[in-house]
Amino acid sequence: MNQNIYVIGAARTDFKRNLKKEGRTLQDVIVEVGRDAIANAGLMPTDVQAGIVGNFAAGLYTRQLHLGSLLIGIDDSLRGIPTLHTEAACASGSVGVLNASLWIAAGLHDVVLVVGAEQQKTMSPAEGADVLAAAADWNVERSQYGEHMMPKMFARVADLYAQRYGLTEKQLSTVVLKNFSHAQLNPMAQMRDAGMTIERAMTACDSNPRFAPPLKISDCSQISDGAAAVVLVSEKFVRDPARAMKLLGFGHTTDALQLDRKSVPEFPMARKAAEQAYAMAHKSPRDLHAAEVHDCFSISELVAYEALGWADRGQAAALLESGATTLPRLRQAVGVGTNPAFSMPVNTGGGLIADGHPVGATGVRQVVEMFQQVCGEAGQRQVDGAETVMTFNMGGSFTTSVAMIWGKG
């Protein structure tokens, strides 16, 4: 990278919101969160030189596309800047962050605003599930898996993982309990008031059906409305190094679209993205103090532990059970180890399972969460000494993988 890249401002919405019930639109939250991020950075709209909107399926959920142009609603001074819309399924937001970073690294722009957003609560859950299925090979896999295609595909991942390495109901449910417990400390999390116990997470019932065995509703990420934004800048715009997070390294890979064409559950293209990020950052997995990973389903968090090099093959559950990936203050309540060999809390805000998953916003929201951790602004969920952190955002069935390592400015 020719120029260093920093995040100096961030904002997000409350993922509990229902935009349709509020009488608000996707454009409204893009403008809202964009303004908030610019103000959080201590900048004026006139400082912004380019903009990106990460979004997966606004054309299907809301019949609105041409999303880069919506940034102009933030302030009339933004008329004339270059904007674009990035789409890579659930990785749409992180691809937006990465593109903005490349613009800055190349010296094209010094200040880029990235907003990730999605409005999903515009249709029935069944209709919404079919929209989400567009993240996979709809023409082939829809007939193979049927309705609620994505949960069933990740159930297949869980089955294959269990056949190779072993996997228990309690281990999947511990991921769920950990992330719900983290969300209770996050005032913006969708499920902050929901509560969760290991018994509830493990029990299939009318309110928690096992509709994609072995996965239950509780193993799934949320249907969410929301937006998140970050302001990325070159070094010349870093006025307070104590409130800046530097991009140290990244990796971006793409695998075949169909799940059956991938190596499951190893997902070597996800591993390749992580290795690229570690190499560029000159860091190793044990250098990380906290991380955000793509837990669209409980099994995907465990798979990520191994793909990112945090655990050996088949040892993801052991890492979880050690307590290393749980906030220290919550380890006893979650029922994991209280004295792990190392500590690296994962999904400190609740992850997709409990913080929420407005698809296009997720990759940006991960960066917002890590920015707050690095700057010491995460409140009750603050990780002590969080100086080197990682985000891993994935689209489809580990089709697009974006790994980014961040450090103190």
Q: Is 375 a catalytic residue?
A: no
**3-class SS at 309?**
coil
Report the distance separating Cα 277 and Cα 402, nearest Å.
9
**Cβ neighbours of residue 139 closer than 8 Å, sequence gap 6 or more:** none
In the block, tokens 């580990």 appear at 398
Report the distance separating Cα 312 and Cα 248, nearest Å.
24
Asked if 194 contacts 177 with a C-beta cutoff of 8 angstroms, the reply is no
Report the distance separating Cα 180 and Cα 343, nearest Å.
19
Per annotation, catalytic residue among 148, 294, 357, 375: 357
Q: Is 357 a catalytic residue?
A: yes
Residue 22 CB neighbour total at 10 angstroms: 11
Task: State the virtual CA torsion across 45, 46, 49, 51 in degrees, nearest 10.
Answer: 20
* Structure-token pair, residue 185: 């400390």
User: Cα 295 from chain centroid?
Assistant: 8
> Which long-range contacts (C-beta less than 8 Å, at least 24 apart) are formed by 75-84?
75/35, 75/45, 75/46, 77/45, 77/46, 78/45, 78/48, 78/51, 81/48, 81/49, 81/50, 81/51, 82/50, 82/51, 83/50, 83/51, 83/52, 83/53, 84/52, 84/53
* Structure-token pair, residue 34: 């964009």
E strands in 146-240: 225-233
How long is the chain? 409
Report the distance separating Cα 287 and Cα 405, nearest Å.
10
Render 328-365 in DSSP notation, one character per residue: GGGHHHHTS-SS-SS---BSTT-HHHHT---HHHHHHH
Report the distance separating Cα 310 and Cα 306, nearest Å.
6
Percent of the chain that is helix, strand, coil (3-state, to 5): 45, 20, 35
Q: Could you list the active site residues?
A: 90, 357
